A and B are shown apart, each in its own frame.
Chain A
Amino acid sequence: MRPDLDIIQNWIAPGSRVLDLGCGDGSLLEFLKTNKGVSETGLEINEANIAACLAKGVNVIEQDMNKSLQNFKDKSFDTVLLTQTLQAVSYPDVIIDEMLRIGKNCIVTFPNFGNWRSRLYLFTKGRMPVSNFMPYEWYNTPNIHFCTVRDFDVLCKEKNIKVITRTVVDHLHQGSWTIKAWPNFLGETAIYHISR
């Protein structure tokens, strides 16, 4: 269980309906189903991940969220999740709008590109940052829309999105007072709980 997922589960109401966009192997949904009694649906396009969901007994729909989410009705889910996937979608702003349409509230997590390590890497090497956390080269990365904590704050403001809670954590997924003071500099993973 990724520690950021541990933070997320506190924001999920027991027994609620949860949609996870890009649900991976279904670990998070399985956890929420077992511990929170949620009624779960995952969206996924990777065949191995879909098989893993079926093996876990997690409901999974083979659908590409980049094409459309129009088949989901307004407010048909309590919570819509997008964990560590925002940076890999074609139109992040469209996905966020769709999430807020489908869900009563939404949780978005993403790697903070404004983190000091990224800044230092780019500053000293003059090259796109590559790390354990973001192990791809610029030309083969699935992460095509990196953003920083500040970028996301601006997007929320522009779109009149209500930020219910914002938590920013480091690679140990701990949120110390220093990270709270300088989230965009020290934070590695941003976790937003948002609604309209």
Chain B
Amino acid sequence: MPKTIPENSVGIVTPQCLHFDEPLLLRSGKTINSYDLMIETYGTLNEAKSNAVLICHALSGDHHAAGFHSEDESKPGWWDNCIGPGKPIDTNKFFVVCLNNLGGCAGSTGPTSINPETGTYYGPDFPVVTVRDWVNSQVRLMDRLGIPQWAAVIGGSLGGMQVMRWSISYPERLRNAIMIAVAPKLSAQNIAFNEVARQSITADPFFHNGRYLEHGTYPKKGVMLARMVGHITYLSDSAMRDKFGKASEAIANEPIAGNFGRDLRTGKLSFGLNVDFQVESYLHYQGERFSEHFDANTYLLMTKALDYFDPTVDYEGNLSAAFAKSSCRFLLMSFSSDWRFPPERSREIVDALLEAGKQVSYLEIEADQGHDAFLLPVPRYLEAFGTYLNRVSDEVNA
């Protein structure tokens, strides 16, 4: 079905695959000898090469952040709400670079790639990569593209953690660090949810210790479950009520007073183990769709990268000491209903930056959508985001 592409879209975009031959030493001590990075870029690099921004993706993201790969693609890239002409990350002003991180499953070297040493899929042998490893690979990408300094490095959630690592490890190579819905490191509760997700994958009989590709199988049920539990943590209670509690007539024939955000799927209770409520079928659908394109081993790696992230590890647990050398300006934004990385977690970072004497702005956006809000068109969020970046553009395009 051909459709018209909106005017404020970057339009049809084509990913590129860049190959890197210089071995990358990982935090684990292992090395990846050579690798591919899949990237997309939008906008034009100015002559001074000063208007480039890097977008870091979160757990399930990839290089396709905006626009469409073809006219038949039903949905645009994952951050299309924020990237495009006239949007907060304005492609008329910035040269936007987005990549699929190492270990991903959208074209960059990862578990589904062929390991040149064995001639078969990496699978579970793909080394555990950390946020620091990703940032090191992103520096190489930057050098390859001939960009001396990012006007801004931007990311939400796990993407924000990469931004934080940039500001600590490569202070002179970015002017602005924009972190959205982020946390300085995971809480025990965050890790607990990740572990449930991992267990559901590894317990799937089709997982085969991660060698499912060689077995010609896929742990679909496990990935679905992992995504379902993850998805619950991305939404808020009120967001779920809004989504699944509107059609009160749906239960008019049932002897239940009020639906309280629990729309029935068919208008009747089954009194069995069938899917009774809309939220159940929604989660099934989300899990199902996700399992169709996301690799199980990548999911395991991404959740581990989240669990391991700790910018204070070289600074005796002192976050403000970690930022001592940072020289960029910081913008943090959090969302009131985000219970995965709630505003308090962002404030920990803000306070550490203030203690370190850094330039920081912080906004706490009132939003019902939970953690997912960072991907959604929340008016105040988009406006503040755009205002800040406008200022950045004035500085770098001057």
Contacts and interface: CB of A to CB of B under 8 A. Distances in A.
Interface of A: 17, 39, 41, 47, 50-51, 53-57, 59-63, 71-73, 76
B361 A54 contact: yes
Contact of B387 (A17, A55, A59, A62): A55
A72 B387 contact: no
Nearest to A40: B359
A61 B346 CA distance: 12
B387 A71 contact: no
Nearest to B333: A62
Contacts, number: 49
Given A47-B380, A59-B361, A62-B362, A41 B391 contact: no
23 contacts: A41-B360, A47-B380, A53-B361, A54-B331, A54-B361, A55-B390, A55-B391, A56-B391, A59-B329, A59-B359, A59-B361, A60-B361, A61-B350, A61-B354, A61-B361, A61-B362, A62-B362, A62-B363, A62-B364, A71-B351, A72-B354, A76-B355, A76-B357
A92 to B, nearest CB: 23
B361 A51 contact: no
Given A56-B391, A59-B361, 19 more contacts: A17-B357, A39-B357, A47-B380, A50-B363, A50-B384, A54-B331, A54-B361, A54-B388, A55-B390, A59-B359, A59-B360, A60-B361, A61-B350, A61-B360, A61-B362, A62-B363, A62-B364, A63-B362, A71-B350
B273 to A, nearest CB: 47
Interface centre among A47, A54, A63, A72 (most CB of B within 10 A): A54
B340 interface: no
B261 to A, nearest CB: 28
B383 interface: yes
A39 B387 contact: no
A54 B363 CA distance: 10
B347 interface: yes
Contacts of B361: 53-54, 59-61
Interface in B343-376: 347, 350-351, 354-355, 357, 359-364
Interface of B: 329, 331, 347, 350-351, 354-355, 357, 359-364, 380, 383-384, 387-388, 390-391, 395
Contacts of B331: 54
B335 to A, nearest CB: 12
A53 B329 CA distance: 14
B178 to A, nearest CB: 12
A60 B359 CA distance: 9
A54 B380 CA distance: 13
Nearest to A58: B361
Nearest to A64: B364
Nearest to B329: A59
Nearest to B391: A57
Nearest to B330: A59
A11 to B, nearest CB: 21
Nearest to B320: A73
A60 B395 CA distance: 18
Contacts of A62: 362-364
B22 to A, nearest CB: 38
**A-B CB proximity, top 8 nearest:** A54-B387, A71-B351, A61-B362, A54-B388, A57-B391, A62-B364, A62-B363, A60-B361
